[in-house]
Amino acid sequence: MRLFDTMTRAVQPLQSADGRKYRLYCCGPTVYGPAHIGNFRTFLVNDILRRVLEVADLNPLYVRNITDVEDNTIRQSLEAGLSLEAFTSQWTNYFHEDCNTLNMLTPHEEPKATQHIEEQINLVGKLMEKGHAYQAADGSVYFKVDSYPPYGRLSRLDQRELRSQVSTSGGAPNLADNYDRSSVADFALWKSRKPEDGDNWWESSWGQGRPGWHLECSAMSMKYLGDSFDLHSGGEDLCFPHHENEIAQTEAVTGKTFAHHWFHTIHLLVDGKKMSKSAGNYFTLRDLLEEGWSPMVIRYALISAHYRQQLNFTKNGLHAAQSALQKMEKSVLRLLDIAERRKQDLEELPLDFPALMKGSFSGSWKALEEDLNVPEATGAMFSRLKEIDRSDLSMEQADTILLEIAALLYALGLKLFTAQPKPADVPEEVKLLAEQRWKAKNEKDWAAADTLRDRIKAEGWAVKDTRDGYELEAL
């Protein structure tokens, strides 16, 4: 498998350094509100990466953290009159529910920053010992950017510009968690206690305070994946300063390469602008569910563009995703019928991935293994389905193709036949007619069944027979 690496700006092969597990870390959500669908674009791309690594036998160990202590979580928990723990747990649960709705696999580890304060304090101690950190007059501890010459490599900060910015800041360090390239300066590792932090402080050798945001990901990735691991990921905005700072503070301690591969997802846009909480131009998953979009349509829409391409989110995109899924379902329904299988079989049958990946959809697998190209993979899938739709197939052939489709759907995290109108949406009268028709059909009273079908149609509904029963679809 190969993937674009932000550090070398080239597509690189993925190999686990220890030959046993592929260790990857994704910067997770900051839990002070619902994640928006832009955040989910990044998390879904990482979910697919983890799935493909799994089926390609690379044995992933996937860690995604929960950021529960930083300026926003603290401020909003105080405003809500809740402890930081109570406040962030609510939003963490909410996030997990959304992840389940979108059929995302649970990471192997999901550490919380507040549960790793000791590890963070230890890291600050080591940086102090090695002369990479200092305590300033405000009591906070900062990383000394000048002490780490490779600083800026990931985001390609020009070294001269970097030096002049750091020195012209007159040594004034930057306490903010997030900032842009124009304010490169020594960054906070430990923030001294402030009245606005409420009860959210811990004891350390440098006095009471709390860790800076960047530190948590170094401490937690090192704990669960080791000093040096295979891949680190996040949205493109994290490249600078977050990942740059993580590299500096970790490598300054270990002297080893922190992550061998850097994987960034381009932002989701809305109306051509970055979807973000601060800009207020965002949709949550639940906004879209309330509009009646099914989770799989939303998942499909969010993964439909290559992770290195901008994806402009529109309702048209959701409609396109819906018809793509319906097209797949149509082909699969025919195959299920020929193979005499039930819909559930698609998810229940054991899948022998290596063999299935070599079958009818090898083009799709090649696209996934070459820089995780989801649009090319689905494009190749549809081309094959078109041919399959036109072929006469034996029961065995249809069965094999179904298994091959199930394997591909697993890698993409898609489930079919979940986008039907909810039973509650179907008027009682139509449900009754459909039941009567089903009964007539079972009694082989074809004339009555046909009349009932017409009556259902007149009410604006189509009834479709399946192996397991029937379904109603709005016309």
Residue pair 415/347 in contact (Cβ under 8 Å)? The answer is yes
Residue 217 binds Zn ion, judged by CB under 5 A: yes
Q: Does 185 contact Zn ion by CB under 5 A?
A: no
Render 237-287 in DSSP notation, one character per residue. Answer: GGIIIIIHHHHHHHHHHH-S-SEEEEEEEPPEEETTEE--TTTT---BHHH
Asked if 143 contacts 131 with a C-beta cutoff of 8 angstroms, the reply is no
Q: Which amino acid is at 280?
A: G
Binding status of residue 312 toward ligand AMP by CB under 6 A: no
According to the binding rule CB under 6 A, does residue 235 interact with ligand AMP?
yes
Q: Phi, psi (5° rounding) for residue 82?
A: -120, 155
Round to whole Å and give the CA distance between 456 and 18: 62
H/E run at residue 458: helix 446-458
Choose the binding region for ligand AMP from 11-19, 34-42, 162-170, 355-363 (rule: CB under 6 A): 34-42
Do 268 and 306 form a contact (C-beta atoms < 8 A)? no
27 contributes a contact to ligand AMP by CB under 6 A: yes
DSSP state of 146: G
**Residue 426 binding result from Zn ion, ligand AMP, none, given CB thresholds of 5 to 8 Å by partner type:** none
- The interface partner of residue 411, options being Zn ion, ligand AMP, none and the CB cut-off 5 to 8 Å by kind, is none
Listed residue (257, 252, 256, 258) closest to 130, CA to CA? 252
- 174 vs 249, beta carbon nearer Zn ion: 249
Under the binding rule (CB under 6 A), the answer on residue 216 touching ligand AMP is no
Question: Given the complex with Zn ion, which of 217 and 452 has the nearer CB atom?
Answer: 217
Which residue in the set 49, 238, 301, 463 belongs to the binding site for ligand AMP (CB under 6 A)?
238
- Distance of alpha carbon 183 from alpha carbon 471, whole angstroms: 59
245 binds ligand AMP (CB under 6 A): no
Residue 114 interacting with ligand AMP (CB under 6 A) = no
Least distance between Zn ion and beta carbon 242 (Å): 5
Q: By the 8 A CB rule, do 3 and 14 touch?
A: yes
Site string for Zn ion, 20-39 (x = CB under 5 A): -------x------------
- Regarding 268 and contact with ligand AMP (CB under 6 A), the answer is yes
Choice between 245 and 331, CB closer to Zn ion: 245
Report, in Å, the least distance between residue 269 CB and Zn ion. Answer: 22
The residues of the shown chain that bind ligand AMP, judged by CB under 6 A, are: 27, 29-30, 38-39, 41-42, 67, 234-235, 237-238, 265, 267-268, 274-276
Binding site for Zn ion (CB under 5 A): 27, 217
